[in-house]
Structure 1
Amino acid sequence: MAFDSGTVSFRRYAVMGRSPREPSEKMLQTLEGMSFAPGGSGASQEVEYGWSGGRHVLDTSFSFEHNVFGEALHFALRVDTNRVPAQIRRAYQIIEDEAASLGNAAGKKGVKHAVQRRIEADLRSGRYRRSRLMPVLWDLPRAMVYAAVSPAAQEYLLNLFERTFELRLEPLSAGRLALRRMEAAGNRRSYEDAHPTRFAGGPDGEERAPEYPWVPRGDYPRDWLGNEFLVWLWHHTETEGGVVATGRGELGVVIDELLEMHCAFGETGRDVFRASGPTRMPEAVDALFSGKVPRRIGLIVESGGSQWQLTLSAESFACAGVRLPPAEQAVSPRAVFEQRIDALRDLCETIDALYEAFLKVRFAGAWDAHVAAVRRWIARAARRQGA
């Protein structure tokens, strides 16, 4: 799903190091030098990856005309998988076993070598090769990369970007964004001392703290803050009329179309609600009261006359199915794309403003009182549903 048209999906990555501030011919040449080349290692690999110009899966050329838009670079990560399916491997094994039983192979070792030769021949031929392009947009002045990569391909993106530019990409998850903001405010200690909030009693009443089992333990970023953010946003839209005061002014927020909730205690599974106004569904209130928290949520966000619709993932802050405002008075495809880049930047700044409004409350001295108000709101909503 490219960034130049239609809906877009992406995660954000901060470029760590001395990132260039504007595109250059040298950067394009560097990308081309690390472009995708099947079999570039000299052997058949199950997974191969490299850069692509992005216009099509065989595009390995990079130019100002096709890859530079304003102060941004637009290209793609190509990932090829070249795996012989398990059922084909089993078929080869059976064929060679039958041949061996007729005296046509030299025992088990001969069968093994014969099967391996068949598999290697398939890999060399590319018979089972599958190619995928994943769009990448590098916003140079902001030292930010937006990439539509799958979780499995993220490792390839981080590795290739560092090998290409000698710059590291840092995934901007909920915990990492919170840490960056708390450090900027000189308050890292509060972030390090933070513990998950219990908004509801949970399966065992008040005795257990939420575990957020989907978030890694230890020194990893506190990505459960993203789940707390969505609970806070849900409460705010229900009690404050869907208007949030932020550093960017008042923002309009509507939760719509999707609400995916998981048990913060790791016991009662997940619920997915798809409807107009899913937070008003009785089942959603019951899920919140039982100890479930949002992990994905559909949003409509308005700021300064612009509107975006998207699905936001709590922990990764990944944005999916983003509908950008239409380009206005654009006279060429290039102008349309550059307006879309501006709209993408505005969206991210708007989401960050909402998150910063939450963090100001979360790390203020009145957080416990705010949590008590949220708990009363949840309990009242659950009683109304049960009445």
Structure 2
Amino acid sequence: MKPLELMEQGRFLGEEFLLWLWMRSMTEGGASGEEGDGSGCFVDDAIQLTSERGEVKEISLRKGNPAESREAFESLGRGMRPSKMKLRILSGDLEWVFTLNAATLDMGTLKLPPSTGKAPHERLHDRIFLLEEGAGHLERRLKLFLRARAEDPDGMLEAMRGWVRVARSGEALANGEAPWEA
């Protein structure tokens, strides 16, 4: 089998991971759920949703807060899946912003926290450390997702479907109201 075919077959797992991150950012405050990890992961200002069926194959939501928009939840309710998402990870006073692709799970357009090094080699070491630290935060979440999915795949999928159903009514948001109902 060709590499692109293999990626396409495994894409569903990346889409579920993005949806799980989205759900946790709204229901768990973005916490990883791992002991000793005080970081938070949140959907930032861009989400791309795709579908194989229907007249609309792709929707890109940008600017503002697309993670809490009516359009995002209506798209999820119609069977669209997240294919790309801009995420923000916060840990203490450090912040990483990047785009995560569901098909390949690669991080693109990565913005690292600022380096504190003065000399060029110090800045290089800082940037490598910060890159590894940011990737580590994402990797811990992926491991947690895979562990939970392996233990109870049907339960996880039903929890995400239930979250989408409730979120479409606006009740799954932190304040209990949908922004479009204000």
Provide the TM-score with structure 1 as the length reference: 0.41
| 1:349-360 pair list within 5 angstroms | 349-360=136-147
**Structure 2: segments with no counterpart, 5+ residues:** 171-177
Q: Helix, strand or coil: the match of 1:244?
A: coil
Task: Specify the code of the residue in structure 2 equivalent to 1:353.
Answer: R
Q: Distance in 2 between matches of 1:248 and 1:314?
A: 27
Q: Which residue of 2 aligns with 1:256?
A: 44
Q: Which residue of 1 aligns with 2:99?
A: 311
| 1:121-270 pair list within 5 angstroms | 216=5, 222-246=10-34, 249-263=37-51, 265-267=52-54, 268-270=56-58
Which of 128, 138, 142 lines up with 1:341 in the alignment? Answer: 128
Q: Which residue of 2 aligns with 1:362?
A: 149
Given that 2:30 and 2:42 are in contact with CA atoms closer than 8 Å, whether structure 1 keeps it comes out as yes
Q: Helix, strand or coil: the match of 2:99?
A: strand
Name whichever of 372-381 and 223-232 sits farther off.
Answer: 372-381
Task: Specify the code of the residue in structure 2 equivalent to 1:375.
Answer: R
Q: Helix, strand or coil: the match of 1:243?
A: coil
Name whichever of 298-307 and 241-250 sits farther off.
Answer: 241-250
Given that 2:8 and 2:103 are in contact with CA atoms closer than 8 Å, whether structure 1 keeps it comes out as no
CA displacement 1:312-349 (0-9 Å, x = unmatched): 11121222221111111x22112111210111111111
Given that 1:245 and 1:251 are in contact with CA atoms closer than 8 Å, whether structure 2 keeps it comes out as no
Q: Helix, strand or coil: the match of 1:316?
A: coil
Cα distance change, pair 221–269 in 1 and its aligned pair in 2 (3 A): closer
Given that 1:247 and 1:353 are in contact with CA atoms closer than 8 Å, whether structure 2 keeps it comes out as no
Task: Provide the aligned length of Structure 1 versus Structure 2.
Answer: 170
Q: Helix, strand or coil: the match of 1:234?
A: helix
Q: Distance in 2 between matches of 1:260 and 1:233?
A: 14
Q: What percentage of residue pairs aligned between the two structures are identical?
A: 26
| 4+ aligned runs moved over 6 Å, structure 1 | none
Deviation at 1:229, TM superposition (A): 0.1
Deviation at 1:360, TM superposition (A): 1.0
Given that 1:248 and 1:350 are in contact with CA atoms closer than 8 Å, whether structure 2 keeps it comes out as no
Deviation at 1:276, TM superposition (A): 2.7
**Structure 1: segments with no counterpart, 5+ residues:** 1-170, 172-214
Q: Which residue of 1 aligns with 2:111?
A: 323
Q: Distance in 2 between matches of 1:344 and 1:246?
A: 20
Provide the TM-score with structure 2 as the length reference: 0.83
Q: Distance in 2 between matches of 1:273 and 1:374?
A: 20
Deviation at 1:237, TM superposition (A): 1.2
Q: Distance in 2 between matches of 1:250 and 1:266?
A: 40
Q: Distance in 1 between matches of 2:122 and 2:36?
A: 26
Cα distance change, pair 317–220 in 1 and its aligned pair in 2 (3 A): closer
Question: What is the RMSD computed on CA atoms of the aligned residues?
Answer: 2.4
Given that 1:299 and 1:312 are in contact with CA atoms closer than 8 Å, whether structure 2 keeps it comes out as yes
Which of 273, 293, 302 lines up with 2:61 in the alignment? Answer: 273
Q: Distance in 2 between matches of 1:378 and 1:286?
A: 9
Larger RCO: Structure 1 or Structure 2 (Cα < 8 Å, ≥ 6 residues apart)?
2
Larger radius of gyration: 1
Q: Distance in 2 between matches of 1:274 and 1:319?
A: 18
Q: Which residue of 2 aligns with 1:111?
A: none
Deviation at 1:269, TM superposition (A): 0.4
